[in-house]
Amino acid sequence: MKRIAVMTSGGDCPGMNAAIRSVVRTAIAHNLEPFGIEQGYKGLIEGKIIPMSNKSVANIIQRGGTILKSARSMEFKTDEGQRKAVNNLAELGIEGLIIIGGDGSLTGAKILSERYGIKTIGIPGSIDNDLCCTDMSIGVDTALNTIVRAVDSINDTASSHDRTFLIEVMGRNCGYLALVSAIATGAEAVLIPEVQYDIEKIIAKIKKRYEEGKSRSIIIIAEGVGSAMDFGKVFGMIGGFDTRVTVLGHLQRGGSPTVFDRILATRMGTAAVEALLDGVTASMTALQKTKIELVPFKDIIGLKKPLDHKLIEIAEVLSR
């Protein structure tokens, strides 16, 4: 193997640049020629493939987002689109491909490996932390820190005005961000897709808090449960609280990655290059009990990562 390429796909997350840097510099250290693919699978189809060097990844480890950019591609789901992508790799003599992204991105990598014989390694990049077989994905820690800082700031205002704040965080199908941030900020309640909720019980709980003289309440809602704006109307009508709503939105995706994410991304980038050199394909780098392991795509893709029920119990106990 002489040439490899790296790309980012799907939603961006902090730490992607650290992973790109690690892939490029590790490749050069092993006498490989690294290339970068701009705009994910869309760029792969359009031939947006550029040579990378140590200089091209200098001073990016601290930057959020991705210097290679990202985009969705419906065309890659077609046979014609896939053939264009494979031909573009073949024309440049690229034999190995490293894809940084979530479940959909890794699905594309699996297709390239199984149907076309391209050696592919995935690196999990998703703030939802919903990818199976890895304790943590790149970007999760930074997103959590961003949420916690925002909630802490809102908490000050909530206390000053005796208000209930409903804070909506990302998590369409997975409540990890909402659950962990609720524990970390001392929220009174958390609503996540994995657990049934009773809105009247939550309102009764908040009423009791005010009767006991507590001056504010924080409720964190995963976007997959529903709109915080709609919940705010319910709280105002049924509870009669002075209620405010904050939707954090894409604020959670950005920002300089934490030390944890920089190191995790760096370790995974190095492991991905070394895996290709060892002849491994159709596998993802995974953090398992402090070690970086390789897990086949077939054991990951399409599977839902379960939430730690102990965390759910902790959140319930501490919010009483």
The backbone torsions φ and ψ at residue 219, rounded to the nearest 5 degrees and listed phi first, read -125, 125
Higher pLDDT, 240 or 132: 132
Q: Report how far apart the first and last C-alpha atoms of the chain are (Å, whole number).
A: 58
d(Cα 101, Cα 72) in Å, to the nearest integer?
Answer: 12
In 3D, which of 179, 199, 180, 201 has the Cα closest to residue 190?
179
What residue ranges of the chain are covered by domains with CATH 3.40.50.450? 3-139+257-299
What residue ranges of the chain are covered by domains with CATH 3.40.50.460? 140-253
Task: Flag whether 186 is marked binding.
Answer: yes
Q: Check residue 112 and report its DSSP letter.
A: H
Interacting residues of 80 by C-beta distance below 8 A, sequence separation 6+: none
Task: Flag whether 171 is marked binding.
Answer: yes
Q: How confident is the model at residue 160 (pLDDT cuts 50, 70, 90)?
A: confident
Mean of pLDDT values over 232-238: 81
| Chain Cα centroid distance, residue 74 | 21
pLDDT at 60: 98
Burial of 265 (0-12, 13-18, 19+ CB in 10 A): buried
d(Cα 153, Cα 278) in Å, to the nearest integer?
Answer: 48
- Indicate the range of 26-40, 134-148, 301-315 predicted with least confidence: 301-315
* Active site (catalytic) residues: 128
Task: Flag whether 117 is marked binding.
Answer: no
pTM of the model as a whole: 0.95
Task: Flag whether 227 is marked binding.
Answer: no
Q: Check residue 56 and report its DSSP letter.
A: G
Higher pLDDT, 83 or 204: 83
pLDDT at 210: 81
CATH for 3-139+257-299, among 3.10.640.10, 3.40.50.2000, 3.40.50.450, 3.30.200.20? Answer: 3.40.50.450
Quick: pLDDT tens for 102-119: 999 999 999 999 999 999
pLDDT at 273 over 80: yes
Mean of pLDDT values over 52-80: 96
3-state secondary structure (DSSP) of residue 7:
strand
- Indicate the range of 25-39, 211-225, 271-285 predicted with least confidence: 211-225
Tokens of 319: 């919010």
Higher pLDDT, 204 or 52: 52
pLDDT at 215 over 80: no
d(Cα 25, Cα 7) in Å, to the nearest integer?
Answer: 15
Q: Domain 140-253 class?
A: alpha beta
Q: Which residues pair with 50 in a beta bridge?
A: 36
Mean of pLDDT values over 196-202: 91
